[in-house]
Structure 1
């Protein structure tokens, strides 16, 4: 029987939870009281995270070096972040707190929120020396020297900063490059702490979140808490294909009790009516399960990679000085879930072909504007899209005279896709292709496999956690160099 939604409140304790067992005290209560002084009243689940995350051992060190909060969007994780940052600045004496997000606009919004809290509290405002929000720095600095810096994650951002506390927002988009830039900043700190905040894993971009989650699951399975990780996850355990009718061991996406299990702010910030409408709108696409019920896809560390093209063969074709020469062809592809998309280019280079991932970003809203910029700059011989793939929906807008490119998009047929894949593979084996050794393309190749297509084959993902849109994009772009297009006299580079 399904629960009555109007009678439910969100679960104030996470479904998956582990934390270091040894501690003497916690600064969580003081952090909650400080947040209230600033006008931020925290819900019980938010207070619980701070109580656990700010536990201290007898030697004064944090019980948990890493704290990971994984819960569906719009539940109020920002409140926990703000309370932790206020505590770091005004209670704990942390000299430098670094707040990072995948995109700087997210970090800027976080700055504006905590700025409002501080300015609204005279006791805190009088301790502030300056607040900067310009093109070079976004930060809050106290008269005593403590600083909270807001940055976007990249291979260089945060490098050289010795942070007492690192806050990593949008941790479902967090890979090795960002961790390599940020983790060493804490090595010289006496008592560092690292906080991750995000929602359910979205596949390959969720590399670090997947590692944290595996550690938590291993600790729960073994019955032995991880000695340095506090992990909080609000999610459901969904039904699988093997479930028998009436299965009571897994959670039903249509049951309001499942909504409550995954959303601690149900009945506080989120209404059952909204979730009911959200469920009806999103249907069976899987997006509802990920975004509202916390059912993610997480990459593994398994070694069964590079099944089609060997890693050594691919790396040998990397050339840092390579670049596409005119004429060039562009292609667009995206993941079936529409979580990520790629724009790729191909052009001639030293008797062969150069391929490159021009842009690879989350979402799809950025594609049209970026395509217009590239089209104006490069004047390519063609744009290629597989109309049967997820990017096929972009074709009408791209062909539109006013809001698009105003050109006909080359649309592949099944035989064209097979030919493109075969030609790409041959170019690699014949060493007639160059690339820049870009991580998105290497990751796609590492996780790609073949799928039959008539008597030939096409690219396929080995699992839902693999994003092969960069690989499909460069394959179609290379094919686009030789396809017949409307303009006359276009050279054939193949």
Structure 2
């Protein structure tokens, strides 16, 4: 691949060639060894050349063996970045007559950027590469064999789902995530972080991960001690220095950084991105696990409950939990379901709503954005919670558990999830926190759903105390499904 790229005028550094070799490694069956591959490297080191070489190879060297059209979707957070990638590839192809002879058309209209090849022998439609900006609807209608996710540090779950499900029926698919370290509380980075965690931990044999970072930068307890003024640290994080980016430039960036502990320099130039702490939540938050275990009861949810939905990192699983006020004033919580994916959620919520006479259904409007339309079609009314409300649910759960106000039946899956979950800061300025997955093998969605259910129960009680005539927050079993904006914007 590096020889082909060089013949096309794209000469790669050794480290760039190493990345390309990893991307195009195959298994014993001749399939891509990595169905998802993450690349973390700081800015101005030449990531763009890797993406050009990658697009070139997939477009011209690796047709589908079934002779069907191959589609490469090259995406970025911002359209200007996607267009830059398009112009780079277009320039290389137009400079090579041999490549241009295989091109049917180059589309340059705004929003239509892409390159279409002439059909190969016995091929009805030519292979193509399209350049798009990510959104909740981008990529729909296309079946992507290859997905390029530039600016991967800025990709939320909703935008990712719109793309990744285009590969559902594609054999030998591959996704490339290329990005820099996200800023906590600013970038929607859960997708890229999930790839990082799977890649670093080695828990997924189909995940490839490469990063250029200082030694120890993944350690959540030791990363802050990395000497940001050490030229050896600069070199470990900038594989293209000094010929692409000079040491003097890096030195100036270091000296001009006024953030505490040179945090911005460490993130942007050194790619310091620690893992989330793996300790149990007892050492990472104020929740007392001993009190949690002391309040195990034989009671189960019965009626007038609040239901909550949460989707796990990467959308690979999702959970439903409920909360109910007991006669003694305490709150009973119960894990109701955790399954792979999200397609099962709306009908299951609808079933539980009727079975348990749910008084309110709540969800995090950002976390559950991918199922909102499905919930609407299923006729399920819900209340969408914002970031501040999700953080309030986190704080409320800790307070109520520690005050002996939360009871729960024996459910090892919920116990394990709570022990493994860790806090995640959503907004540093306001210190807003929520639950996150501390152990890559233990889903945290059940813990998040439990917290949201407790908050939902309190919210429904407050609403009931102030208004007896307002529209109910959920449909009863005999009501027809509502449609329109009232389903999407239930706020009290």
Which residue of structure 2 aligns with residue 270 of structure 1?
245
Q: Indicate which of 192, 211, 216 corresponds to 2:199.
A: 216
1:206 correspondence with 2:189: yes
* 2:132 aligned counterpart, secondary structure: strand
Is 1:467 aligned to residue 427 of structure 2? Answer: yes
Tell me which residue corresponds to 1:5. none
- In the alignment, structure 1 residue 37 sits paired with structure 2 residue 37: no
- SS at structure 1 position matched to 2:271: coil
Q: TM-score, normalised to structure 1's length?
A: 0.55
**Alignment match of 1:164 (pick from 113, 123, 145):** 145
| Counterpart position of 2:173 | 192
Question: Are 1:85 and 2:32 matched, yes or no?
Answer: no
- 2:285–2:423 contact (8 Å) kept in structure 1: no
SS at structure 2 position matched to 1:92: coil
With normalisation by structure 2, the TM-score equals 0.55
**2:214 corresponds to 1:236:** yes
The equivalent position to 1:138 in structure 2, one of 80, 98, 113, is 113
Shift of 1:307: 10
Return the match for 2:128 from 128, 138, 147: 147
Cα 1:448–1:77, aligned 2, differ >3 Å: closer, same or farther?
Answer: farther
Q: Which residue of 1 aligns with 2:341?
A: none
Query: Contact between 1:447 and 1:468, CA under 8 Å: does it hold in 2?
Result: no
Distance in 1 between the 2:277 and 2:106 partners? 41
Per-residue deviation, 1:126? 2.0
The alpha-carbon deviation at position 103 of structure 1 amounts to 1.4
After superposition, give the CA deviation of every residue in 1:371-416 in whole Å (9 maximum; x if it has no partner). Answer: xxxxxxxxxxxxxxxxxxxxxxxxxxxxxxxxxxxxxxxxxxxxxx
- CA spacing shift, 1:103–1:314, aligned 2, 3 Å: farther
Of residues 38-47 and 439-448 in structure 1, the stretch that sits farther from structure 2 once superposed is: 439-448
The 1:306–1:236 alpha-carbon spacing in structure 2 relative to 1, beyond 3 Å, is: closer
Note if contact 1:444-1:468 (Cα within 8 Å) is conserved in structure 2: no
Q: 2:28 matched to 1:58?
A: yes
Deviations 1:78-122 (A, max 9, x none): 111110100011101251000111111211111111111111111
Q: Secondary structure at the match of 2:33?
A: coil
Q: Secondary structure at the match of 1:50?
A: helix
Structure 1: gaps (5+ residues)? 1-30, 220-224, 317-356, 358-434, 451-461, 473-494
3-state SS, counterpart of residue 162 of structure 1: coil
Would the alpha carbon gap of residues 206 and 136 (structure 1) be closer, same or farther in structure 2, given more than 3 Å must change? closer
Contact 1:307 1:446 in 2 (8 A): no
**Alpha-carbon deviation of 1:131?**
1.3
8 Å Cα contact 1:206-1:298 kept in structure 2: no
Cα pair distance change 1:443/1:285, threshold 3 Å: farther
Check conservation: 2:34, 2:207, Cα contact below 8 A: yes
Give the aligned partner of residue 75 of structure 1.
Answer: 45
Q: Give, in whole Å, the separation in 2 of the partners of 1:242 and 1:192.
A: 37
What is the Cα deviation at residue 256 of structure 1?
0.3
Task: Determine the C-alpha separation between the residues in 2 that align with 1:471 and 1:53.
Answer: 39
Structure ranking higher on relative contact order (CA contacts 8 Å, 6+ apart):
1
Q: What displacement does 1:285 show?
A: 4.2
Aligned to 1:437: 384
What is the aligned-residue RMSD (CA, Å)? 4.0
Which is worse superposed, 197-206 or 186-195? 197-206
SS at match of 1:166: strand
Q: Report the CA distance shift for 1:41/1:314 in structure 2 as closer, same or farther (over 3 A).
A: same
**Post-superposition offset of 1:281:** 0.7
Residue 272 of structure 2 corresponds to: 295
- Asked if the contact 2:55/2:72 (under 8 Å) is kept, the reply is yes
SS at 2:427's partner residue? Answer: coil
Q: Relative to structure 1, is the Cα distance of residues 273 and 446 closer, same or farther in structure 2, using a 3 angstrom cutoff? A: farther
Identify if the C-alpha distance between structure 1 residues 137 and 254 changes in structure 2 by more than 3 Å, giving closer, same or farther.
same
Q: CA deviation at 1:72?
A: 0.9
Question: 2:232 matched to which residue of 1?
Answer: 257
Distance in 1, matches of 2:392 and 2:98, equals 55
**2:395 & 2:103 partners in 1: Cα distance?**
52
TM-superposed CA distance for 1:464, in Å, is 7.1
Q: Report deviation, 1:66.
A: 0.9
In structure 2, the partner of 1:381 is: none
Contact 1:71 1:199 in 2 (8 A): yes
Q: State how far apart, in whole Å, the 2-side matches of 1:89 and 1:58 are.
A: 23
- Cα pair distance change 1:185/1:282, threshold 3 Å: same
Note the alpha carbon deviations across 1:221-263, whole angstroms, 9 max, x for none: xxxx7410110011124689987xxx9x963110000001111
Q: Distance in 2 between matches of 1:78 and 1:67?
A: 16
| SS of equivalent residue, structure 2 residue 384 | coil
